[in-house]
Structure 1
Amino acid sequence: MRARVTIMPKTGVLDPQGKAIGHALGSLGFAGVGEVRAGKVIELELSEADPAKARAVAEEMARRLLANTVIESFKVELA
């Protein structure tokens, strides 16, 4: 089973990468772009067949390693 973990900075946390992307888009002539937030997506191939167990394992991976839960939030999607 595949799991996709999307990790984003929490609201209120400074995002210098997002700020730089937003500035660059404006410099390239893309008008009307508001706040930009940059995150990361991690895809995992899991051997677990039970969706509930696969989600639990992926969430534990995100909490323990993939995301810094002090400043980042995450969501897990199964495919």
Structure 2
Amino acid sequence: MLHIEEYVGIIVGVPQPHRAKALANPDRPHGALIHELERYIEAHHDVTDVNVVSATDTGQADTTHKPVRHWYQVTYEA
């Protein structure tokens, strides 16, 4: 018989934190910037239901996009 206190494992359905770099327009309002980061991560990292926990502008810009996008280091749950 397996006792619950003996079971160690991953709880299904609990979001796990991940880190990734993502592009977004730094001139957008906060909510729109977060949404853009979430969509970028979903499109480039094969995940869904992304929730950004934190994002830090790396200071690196991608000038191939208009308007210019900045790279962000993002911690997210999916």
Whose RCO is larger (CA < 8 A, sep 6+)?
1
* Shorter-chain TM-score above 0.5: no
Structure showing greater Rg: 2
TM-score by length of 1: 0.34
More strand by percentage: 2
Normalization by structure 2: what TM-score?
0.34
